[in-house]
Amino acid sequence: MPAFSRSDLADLKLFTTIVRRRSFKAAAIELGFSTSALSHAMKKLEARLGVRLLNRTSRTVVPTPVGAVLAAKLEEGFGRIGDALAELEAFRERPVGELRLNVPRDAARLLLAPVLAEFTAAYPEVRLLAVVEDRPVDVVAEGFDAGIRYGDTVPEDMVAAALTRPLRWVVVGAPAYLARRGRPRGPDDLRGHDCIRVLLGDGSPYKWELGDGTAMVEVDVRGRFAVNETASTLAAAIAGVGLAYMLERCAAEAVAAGQLEVVMPEWSSDGPPMCVYSSARARAQPGLRQLVDMIRAREGLPPLP
């Protein structure tokens, strides 16, 4: 191969993205290229190297044996470059640029909103764009720098850090509803109650997880109202529509005001924390670490190491 050039470095980065995504289309979305441009760049790279790196089919792209070895070594090298840039970002006095986040509604209200004024005042040169939605999102494919999810739903290939401690889930009901229908004492009693069903981001119903460890049980509750966001669940529970299952933090104000009561407290459940996650390449994104540390400080957690 001729002497290493700047264009070779760029094309090798394109190559590793294609291998990781196993798709020209997905890689093109992540990188902001057209699929035809990526295909043309790979053909030129293979011609310069004198070896075939990719096997292309109508549905997927997989590396050849030599391509797989090259991709693994390149990922290690690009990972070190990312680490170096992340360390450099820590020494930057004021981060500059755009930070794009995908955030579920509960995280937007509980974690992002409380630090927004402080963050925007401290880092005026960071443009923060937050898209709030509860559906499952591939943050890389859809052009986000990072996302927030419950820890057990973070994709395995992402870099993640906890933003909260483990979160407690409770069953609540309005005093008027409990007076009318009675107070459940255990999971079996829920069969005789109207329950507000929780819909996940993909529209499927969520089974209530009650208790912890080996004592935990999943209950497929029944009820005449189902909804996919917490504010509506909370309002319906306060109105006496039925029992609701939600984060203890989301119900705290209504419980303190006497609008709701926690029932079956011994069957409350500790769930995973909310986590911020991103691809390795986004770790040095301007303002991301500062925002994460600000949220963690408010949650009583130390800064990231």
Q: What are φ and ψ of residue 192, in 5° steps?
A: -95, 15
Q: Return the residue matching tokens 């760049």.
A: 41
Average pLDDT, the chain: 89
Domains held by the chain: number? 3
Residue 103: domain span: 95-165+273-298
Q: Are residues 128 and 206 in the same domain?
A: no
pLDDT (tens digit, 9 = 90+) per residue, 16-73? Answer: 888 888 888 878 876 778 888 888 889 999 998 899 999 987 677 899 999 999 988 8
Q: Are residues 58 and 108 in the same domain?
A: no
Q: Are residues 177 and 257 in the same domain?
A: yes
* Residue 7, both tokens: 């264009």
Q: What is the CATH number of the domain that holds 223?
A: 3.40.190.10
The pLDDT of 77-89, averaged and rounded, is 69
261 in a structural domain: yes
CB 246 within 8 A of CB 170: yes
pLDDT (tens digit, 9 = 90+) per residue, 180-216? Answer: 999 999 999 999 999 999 998 778 889 999 999 888 9
pLDDT (tens digit, 9 = 90+) per residue, 124-177? Answer: 999 999 999 888 888 887 888 899 999 888 888 888 899 999 999 999 999 999
Residue 248: count of CB within 10 angstroms of its CB: 17
Q: Is the entire prediction scored with pTM above 0.75? A: no
CB 300 within 8 A of CB 163: no
Q: What secondary structure does DSSP assign to 205-255, as a single string?
A: BPPEEESSGGG-EEE----SEEESSHHHHHHHHHTTS-BEEEEHHHHHHHH
Residue 1 is predicted with a pLDDT of 46
